[in-house]
Amino acid sequence: MTFVKGKSGNPTGRPKGSKDKVGSAARELFVQVMEGEMENIQDSLAVLRENSDEKYLKALSSLMPYFMPKQQETEIKFDEAVKPPSWFDEVLEREDHDGKSKLID
């Protein structure tokens, strides 16, 4: 069988974005284990904190990716031109001591 570029060998395969059953079950089991270990983890972190600030911070930083979502860069574009508010020009105008109005640069 020859591989054709751009054509799937299994066109009726798993839909894009769907989660696999084994991975979901493994994640669920992991969460249950971690929930049961939470007190032990807290105790271990407390011992690390008492003994070595450096090791405590390293342990915390290594756990963070499991509890905090990964940050992604997002670009926001506006289709409309941004106009200053209607009162903006009035705020920029000031009267000097001679009673003449001047525009602040």
| Contact residues for 55 (Cβ-Cβ < 8 A; gap 6+) | 48
- Taking only the tens place, the pLDDT of each residue in 1-14 is 677 777 777 778 77
Give the pLDDT confidence of 81-104 residue by residue, as tens digits: 777 788 877 777 765 555 555 555
Q: Which residue has the higher pLDDT, 91 or 53?
A: 53
Q: Which two tokens stand for residue 57?
A: 């911070």
Distance CA 89, CA 101 (A): 12
The verdict on residue 16 lying in a domain is: no
For the full predicted model, state whether its pTM sits above 0.85.
Answer: no
Residue 9 counted as domain residue: no
The most confident of the ranges 44-48, 72-76, 86-90, 97-101 is: 44-48
| pLDDT attached to residue 18 | 78
Taking the C-alpha atoms of residue 43 and residue 88, their distance in angstroms, rounded to an integer, is 57
The domain total for the chain is 1
Indicate whether 11 belongs to any domain. no
Residue-range definition of the domain harbouring residue 35: 21-103
